[in-house]
A and B are shown apart, each in its own frame.
Chain A
Amino acid sequence: MNRESLLAQTGWFLAALALALLLTVIVCLPLGAPPLETIYVLFKGGLGSLSKFGRVLAGWVPLTLCAVGLLIPFTARLWNIGVEGQVIMGAIFCTAALRPFDDGGALHIGLALCAAMVGGAFWALLSGLLRVFGRVHEIFSGLGLNFVALGVTLWLIFGPWKRPGVASMSGTEPLDISLWLPRLGALSVSWVGLVLAFAAILAVYVLLHRSRWGLKMRAVGENPKAATLFALGPRRRLLQAFMLCGALAGLAGATQVLGVYHRLLPSISSSYGYTALMVGMMASFRLPLVPFICLFFAVLNVGSIQLPLQMGLDSSLSGVIQGVMVLSLFIIQGLRLWLKQRKGAD
C-alpha cells in the first residue's frame, strides 16, 4: 500500500488539499466573506514580515514539542489526548519553580525547564496509571485531566498566586526579565526554544527508529498479546511512553511561560495540545512530516489574528481550516482504499 510512486502520492495529497480548499470556501460563503481575500489575509498575517515570522516560529516551538512527543505513545497505538493538560501542568510547575526567586540566570531557567518536564510527565503518568490499573480509556482520562489542569490554573491565578490587589484572567505577576528566555535577535522567538525543539525531533527519531526500546515499543503497539508473551512488559512501556510524551509537552508549557507570556495565564497552552493531535493525524504519525505541518499550522494560527482586525471574522477560522484539512485527508485516503478494493474485485 505504501509502495505507490511518489507522483501518485503527491497527486493524492494535492487532491486532499483541493478538497480542503473547497470546503473552506463553502464555510466562508454564508458569512459573505470573500474566500480568496480571506485566505490571502490569513497568509499575509502569518508570513507578511520578519517579525510575524518570528511569532510563527514562537508558535512552532511548543507545537512541534507536543506533536513530536505524541509520536511516542502512538507507536504503542495509544491516544494521548491529555497533551493539552500536560502542557498546562508543565507551565504550572515551571512557574512554581521560579516563584521563590525574584531574579536569576541560566541556572534558574534550567531548573524551571526540568520542573516543567516533571510536571508534564506526572500528569501523563496519571493518565497512564488510570489506563493500566483502572481500565479507564486514555481518551477519557486524558480529556478529563485537561479540564482538571485548567481548573488548577484558574484556582492558582484567582487564589494563592493572584497578583497583589487584583485577581483577573490576565494571569499572575510577570516574571523578572532575567528569567525570560533570550530572544533570537529582534524576533519574538527564543533560540533556546528552537534548540529544544530540534533536540526533541532528533531525540524522538533516535529513540523510535534507532534504539531497541523503540523497536520493542513498536512490537507492543502492533500486537500487545504477543508482547506480553515475549516479556516485553507492555504496561511498563506504556507508562514510559506516556511519561516521555508528557515531559515534552511540559517543556512546551515552559517555553510558553518563559519565552512568550512570561507569566501563568488561563490560556497558557493556546490549545497547542489539540492542534498537535491534528498535526499527528495529518502526518499519519510520520516523524519527517511533523515539523513541516507544524510550521504550516503555526502560520495559520498567527495569520488568523489578523482576521478580526481586517475582515471582522472570528479567528477560529484557522482551527476550521486545520480540521478541514485533516478531514479531507481522511476522505481522500478512504476513497483511495475504496477505489483499490473495486479494482481488486474486478
Chain B
Amino acid sequence: METFAFTVAAVLMAGAPLVLATLGETLTEKAGIINLSLDGSILLSAMAAFACAATFDSPWLGVLAGAGVGAAIAGALGLIGIFLGQSQLAVGFILTLLCRDLAYFLGHTFSRQPGPDLGLWTIPGLGDVPLAGPIFGSQSPVVYLSLFAIGFCWWWMYRTEGGMRLRAVGESPRAAFGRGIRVRLVRLYYCLAGGALVGLAGAAYSLAVKPGWGRPQGCEGAGWIALAIVIFGGWHPVRGALGAFFFAALQVAGIHLQEIFPSIPAPVFQVAPFPMMILTLLAVNMGRMGWVQDIVRRHPLFKKCSGAWPIEAPAALGQDFDPKKGL
C-alpha cells in the first residue's frame, strides 16, 4: 500500500509539467492555432525560471519569469502566424530550434550552479489519512498547481462564455466573426495564455521536477510528447491530463525497469517515451482509417466499442482567418 501511494505520488510529480504543457497547448489549439514551439519553449522558460530564481533567490519570481517567457514565445508565434499570415507549422518549428539554442546560449553561466527550488508543501492534518496522506499530504506546489489547472481549464472551456468564444473561434471562425467576436484577437489571447501555461511547465521542470539547469536539462523532448498527448486526449483538458499522467506513469515505470535490467544502458530508457508516443498516436488514429473501419463494421463486438474514445480536432485548426475577406 505504501509503495503504491509513493508510486502515485511520483507519477503526479512527473506528470505535473506534462499536464501544464498539455493544457496550454489544448487551449491554444482549441482556438485554432497550432503552437509547435512547445519543446523549445519549455526549455527556454525552464532556463529563464532557474536563472531568475537563482539571481533573485526567489523561486516564485522564477515561476513568473517562466510563464512570461512562455507567453512571449507564443506571442511571437501568434503575431507572425495570425497577423502576418505565415505558416504556423514552419514558424513554430523554427521557434523550437531557436529557443532551444537560445536556452543553451543564455543559460551557459547558470549551468550546474546551485539555486533555489520550490520545495514541498505540507497540508496540515492530511498526512495521517491513509492513502491520501502519502499521495497529497506533502507534495510539490507544481502538483497542486497542475491539479487546479485541470479543473480550471475544464470549467473555463465548457462552463463560461469566454470558453464558448474560445471554442467558436477554433471551430467556426467565420460564424464567430459574424457574431461580432474579434477572431484574431481572441486567438492571440489564447495563444498567450497557452504559452504562459507552457512556460509554467518549463518552470516546473527546472524548479521542482528536475531542479537546476544544465545541458541537457532532462526535459528535452517533453514538448513533443505534450503535443502528441493533446491529440491523444482529443483536445479535451481532462482527457489530455489523463494522457499526461499515463505517460508520466510510463516514465516512472521506465525508472523501475532500469533497476530490473541493469545491462541495458541508462540512456536507452530516456528515448522510451518516443516509440510509445508513435504507437499511441497510431492506436488513436487507426480508428479513422478506412480499412480499420471496415473490419470494425464486420464484427459486432468491435462495433460496440467503437466511439468509446472519439477524437475530433477543432475544425479550423491551423487555418488562417482573415477578417478582411469577410464572411
Contact = CB atoms under 8 A, between A and B. Distances in A.
> A and B: real partners?
yes
Interface of A: 27, 30-31, 79, 81, 130, 133-137, 139-141, 143-145, 147-148, 150-151, 154-155, 158-159, 167, 266, 274, 277-278, 281, 313-314, 316-320, 322-324, 326-327, 330-331, 333-335, 337-338, 341, 345
A155 B274 CA distance: 15
A31 B111 CA distance: 14
B286 A320 contact: no
Given A316-B104, A320-B102, A135 B84 contact: no
A327 B221 CA distance: 22
B101 to A, nearest CB: 3
Contacts of B267: 151, 154, 158, 266
B247 to A, nearest CB: 13
3 tightest A-B CB contacts, nearest first: A334-B84, A323-B98, A319-B101
Given A151-B267, A151-B271, A159-B265, A314 B104 contact: yes
Interface in B100-149: 100-102, 104-106, 108-109
B86 interface: yes
A327 B84 contact: no
Contacts of B231: 140
Determine chain B's interface SS by DSSP, over half rule.
Answer: helix
A61 B94 CA distance: 22
A31 B86 contact: no
Contact of A134 (B93, B105, B289): B289
Contact of B275 (A30, A148, A327, A331): A148
A333 B270 CA distance: 39
A21 B292 CA distance: 52
B43 to A, nearest CB: 11
B80 interface: yes
Interface stretch (B8-16, B163-171, B276-284): B276-284
Nearest to B228: A140
Interface residues of B, number: 47
Interface in B192-241: 221, 224, 227-228, 231
Given A316-B101, A319-B100, A338-B84, A141 B278 contact: yes
B288 interface: yes
A319 B100 CA distance: 9
B89 interface: yes
A316 B105 contact: yes
Given A27-B106, A140-B278, A155-B265, A327 B94 contact: yes
A313 B102 CA distance: 12
Contacts of B285: 134-136
B214 to A, nearest CB: 12
A133 B237 CA distance: 28
Contacts of B94: 278, 281, 323, 326-327, 330
B97 A313 contact: no
Nearest to B89: A79
A151 B101 contact: no
B264 interface: yes
B85 interface: yes
Q: Which of B109, B271, B272, B275 has the most CB of A within 10 A?
A: B271
B21 to A, nearest CB: 15
15 contacts: A31-B106, A134-B285, A135-B286, A140-B228, A140-B281, A143-B224, A143-B274, A144-B278, A154-B267, A314-B105, A326-B94, A330-B94, A334-B83, A334-B85, A338-B83
A334 to B, nearest CB: 2
Nearest to B325: A341
A257 B83 CA distance: 45
A314 B268 CA distance: 27
Nearest to B221: A147
Interface string B50-84: 00000000000000000000000000100010011
Contacts of A274: 97
Nearest to B322: A341
Interface in B20-65: 36
Contact of A278 (B97, B224, B281): B97
Nearest to A323: B98
B101 A320 contact: yes
B102 A27 contact: yes
